Structure 1
Amino acid sequence: MKPELMQIDYLQPIRKNQVEPTYVKDFSEYGQIYQILCSPFEWIKDVMLLAFENKVLLVVLSFKETILIKKLVEFIHPSRCTALSISPNTSFVTLPNKVVFAAGAADYKVRVFESNMQNDNTCRVLNGHNSYINGVAFDSENIYLASASDDNTVKIWYTDGYKLKATLPLTSPAITISWHRSDSGKLLVGEKIGVMKLYNIETETPILSIDFERSLACADWSTSDVLILGSLQLGELLLWDLAKPCLPQQSTILFSENGGFIKFSPQGEHIAAVNSLEGSLKVLRYVATFCQV
């Protein structure tokens, strides 16, 4: 009999005794931290953005001998930040250095900041949303910037001049957006009512839809497999295989309260989930193995 490949996937919670943090950096002089973004790009992997009430800090992490966090640039942000995304055009390899990032704000505006890390800082304001902005995201080739809002729309902006390309109408607030890692023309949009759609941005139409009929809090692509998608819905973590998206492949209850965020680790083996209402952070190991039967 010809051997077939059978995939076995499971979620394994990681249990560890409570320990003291390895390193603590005090930012209390700036007030409450509203958003944190770690760069997803290898060439700026040590870069972080920290958003406060009216400022965004660009910091860099060092792990050489001891852990250090160094502030590089401070940007004035006139409204509370609700979302962050850093552009793949950001680079410290060549001179002059270049930093580009987008910030969604409580005043319903998207601001795009550019800096050469010296004295040339600019801020471009993108208008169009009429409610809170829940997500902003540059695609991996820096062609588009997407913004998701409570106004039941996702807007697609060209990064060349930041002109509006399209407004995608939805049936409920857009909670999360994420670009396909290997195809910059594909955008995942998650709606509050539990619908997740994969859009072709060139045609501005959905090519795949998943509806679990439970309120969606967050969704994220696996970093190791572009066909694996995670979603957090009414406290339940679901893993989807987009090759067979009719039903989730795995699920586990994480929180008793709705809301929260999930994120795959860069290697794709772990999933972190946090729920501020419960004040808890949980880490699970996602295992995908193949065996012959």
Structure 2
Amino acid sequence: MRTVTEPEFSIQLNETIECYAICTTDFAYNLIAVALKNHMCLILVGLPEENGEFGWNHLQDLEMGDKDQRRVTAIAFSPETSMNCSPNNVTLCAALGSDLIIIRTDLGQFNTIQPFQAHSDYINDVSWVCEGELLATVSDDFSCRFWTPGATPENVITFGLSSAGMSIKSHPEDPNKVLVAEKKGIIHLYNVRSKQTVVSVESPKFPLLSADWANSNRLFITALAGGDIVTWDLNRPFIPADVKQVHEDGGRVVRFAPGSSEMVIASIGRPDLTLKVFAAKSTVPLIEASLKTFAGLAWHQRLPYVTAVSDRKLHFWKVPMK
């Protein structure tokens, strides 16, 4: 019988959460964007390690134009986002169907929304790359595209894929390279400046629905493919360093803990929408919890908390790390 881990804290909202993101910048790492049916809300969270107790404030609601029932599938904060300046500078990008929306706000009177069509099919992931100079997207239309996020966004590079693009990530130590993961199990590291593939790896299983790049060690990448967590050491990219069967009926998303030196990985998959957190070398989960709905997965950038959504609640679990 499995042990279910109860969340440490939860944020209860009035509607089902479609998607969310936690900011990863140094000056706004407690800022969370939550996409609901008709709008997005910005929330500021306080954790006990910083404030002595858990608490959260609703900062602002942001309109997203005419959503016409499209779900938000991905959200990414710009690396320029800061709440340590005057006025505040919050910039984020959201994917709705085949469109992108860039939102800029000072959390006060000023906010703008900039929608544009980016792909011919669903966008599965979005990321700010090259230190925020470009936006990168991957889509079901078998392409990875790079955009200048100015007044008139321009598609400056297109990288053709052999299947749907599922994940795109940059790395803080290597801002000119991006990880691009395809549904059929291929992961490319792509140099944006030279427009060349640096290295590719192939998963032993597919479909691949999610991939991530370890912040604490840029030589490690991981993917969730066919229910297995597959991890590669890019010093030896020809075969995976580790394959762990985690979700019997397939996985949805996988994420490395950002600051852990011991490679802690979280994932959500089926049956019954289950969150699991493992230390990389272990087969015994540190955390296992059931969810009602799926709306993504995110780690706090500085503290050992992993978060996931269950219907109208955003849950926080504290992960025991060395």
Q: Smaller-chain TM-score range?
A: 0.7 to 0.9
Equivalent of residue 280 in structure 1, options 274, 279, 296: 274
SS at match of 1:252: strand
1:262 aligned residue (254, 259, 280):
254
- Letter aligned with residue 63 of structure 2: I
1:243 Cα deviation from its structure 2 partner: 1.5
Name the residue aligned to 1:58. Answer: 42
Alignment gaps of 5+ in structure 1: 1-14, 289-293
- Once the two structures are superposed, residues 244-268 of structure 1 have per-residue CA deviations (whole angstroms, 9 ceiling, x without a partner) of 1000011110011123111111223
Return the letter of the residue paired with 2:39: K
- 2:185 aligned with 1:197: no
* Runs of 4+ that moved beyond 6 A: none
- State the partner residue of 1:12: none
Tell me if 1:133 matches 2:133.
no
What is the Cα deviation at residue 139 of structure 1? 2.0
SS at match of 1:247: coil
- Asked if the contact 2:25–2:81 (Cα under 8 Å) also holds between the matched residues in 1, the reply is no
Say if 2:209 is the partner of 1:217: yes
CA contact (8 A) 1:143 1:160 kept: no
Q: Distance in 2 between matches of 1:36 and 1:259?
A: 18
Residue matched to 1:41: 25
- Displacement of 1:203 after TM fit? 2.6
Contact 2:203 2:230 in 1 (8 A): no
- After superposition, what is the alpha-carbon deviation per residue over 1:53-94, rounded to whole angstroms, capped at 9, x for unaligned? 221111111121321121111111224201110001110111
Q: Provide the C-alpha distance between the structure 2 equivalents of 1:191 and 1:76, rounded to a whole number of angstroms.
A: 32
Q: Given the alignment of the two structures, is residue 95 of structure 1 paired with residue 86 of structure 2, yes or no?
A: yes
- Match of 1:45, SS state, is coil
1:48-197 counterparts in 2 under 5 A? 48-63=32-47, 64-77=51-64, 78=67, 79-106=70-97, 108-139=98-129, 141-161=131-151, 162-197=153-188
SS in structure 2 opposite 1:42?
coil
Decide which of 220, 229, 233 is 2:221's aligned counterpart: 229
CA RMSD of aligned residues (A): 1.9
Equivalent pair of 2:249/2:270 in contact (CA under 8 Å) = no
Cα deviation, residue 160, structure 1: 3.8
Separation in structure 2 between the aligned mates of residue 283 and residue 62 of structure 1, nearest angstrom: 23
Distance in structure 1 (CA, Å) of the matches to 2:202 and 2:133: 29
1:242 aligns with 2:229: no
Name the SS for the 2:27 alignment partner: helix
Structure 1 pair 181/16, CA: closer, same or farther in 2 (3 Å)? farther
Cα 1:16–1:222, aligned 2, differ >3 Å: closer, same or farther?
Answer: farther
Relative distance call for 1:91 and 1:276 in structure 2 (3 A) is: farther
CA contact under 8 A between 1:262 and 1:274: conserved in structure 2?
A: yes
In the comparison of the two structures, how many residue pairs are matched?
271
- Note if 1:26 corresponds to 2:18: no
Structure ID, larger Rg: 1
Separation in 2 of the partners of 1:19 and 1:197? 35
Asked if structure 1 preserves the Cα contact closer than 8 Å seen for 2:130 and 2:176, the reply is no
CA distance in 2 between counterparts of 1:96 and 1:140 reads: 25
> Closer, same or farther in 2 for the Cα pair 1:277/1:112, shift >3 Å?
farther
Residue segments in structure 2 that go unaligned for 5+ positions in a row: 283-322
Q: Partner of 1:3 in structure 2?
A: none
